């Protein structure tokens, strides 16, 4: 019996020691600290992913805006290319003489002889008279129309007026 008491004491002491280790080391042995650390790491990663998603959304919105702007610019460039390929239509200048009203309308081609030396030539006159020019006059008859045109554009100033032709009413309205 003498061996039994120390042996029981040793078993009880050993049981107490194991119990104390289990109570104090439960978190360590079960991995609770590691689990909490992993959960915290996951929460941080999820928060960073949400932030990254927001940044990606903002960048995608910027990208979509840039794409729309680029498409609009490409459309403008294409319009410019089409306009460049279109034939250039020279302007026709129409000078109107007389008041519109219950009169008949007559038209004729008109030209002007400009000075041949560049010192005497007026740039504005050269620009105007290099294009086709027409004079349109409102008068009761063709003789009055010719008189009004020649008064406005006299031959001694270098003007040459072609034959006058009456403009039919349907053409005059257009």
Q: Which of 30-44, 51-65, 94-108, 152-166 has the weakest average pLDDT?
A: 30-44
Handedness of CA 152, 156, 158, 159 (dihedral sign): positive
In this prediction, residues 138-151 reach a mean pLDDT of 91
d(CA 36, CA 101): 98
State the pLDDT at residue 12: 84
Average pLDDT, the chain: 85
Closest CA to 106 of 117, 97, 115: 97
- Does residue 113 surpass a pLDDT of 70? yes
- Does residue 170 surpass a pLDDT of 60? no
Confidence of residue 86 (pLDDT cuts 50, 70, 90): confident
- Does residue 107 surpass a pLDDT of 70? yes
What is each CA distance from 36 to 27, 29, 39, 41, 104, in whole angstroms? Answer: 11, 14, 5, 8, 101
């Amino acid at each position: 019996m003498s061996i039994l008491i120390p042996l029981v004491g040793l078993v009880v002491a050993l049981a107490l020691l194991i119990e104390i280790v289990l109570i104090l080391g439960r978190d360590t042995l079960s991995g609770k600290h590691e689990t909490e650390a992993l959960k915290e790491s996951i929460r941080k990663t999820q928060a960073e992913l949400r932030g990254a998603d927001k940044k990606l959304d903002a960048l995608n919105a910027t990208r979509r805006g840039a794409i729309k702007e680029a498409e609009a610019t490409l459309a403008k460039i294409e319009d410019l290319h089409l306009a460049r390929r279109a034939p250039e239509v020279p302007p026709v200048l129409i000078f109107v003489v007389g008041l519109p009203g219950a009169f008949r309308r007559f038209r004729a081609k008109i030209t002007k002889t400009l000075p041949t030396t560049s010192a005497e030539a007026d740039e504005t006159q050269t620009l105007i008279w290099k294009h086709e020019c027409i004079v349109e006059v409102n008068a009761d008859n063709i003789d009055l129309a010719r008189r009004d045109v020649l008064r406005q554009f006299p031959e001694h100033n270098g003007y040459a007026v072609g034959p006058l032709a009456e403009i039919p009413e349907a053409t005059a309205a257009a």
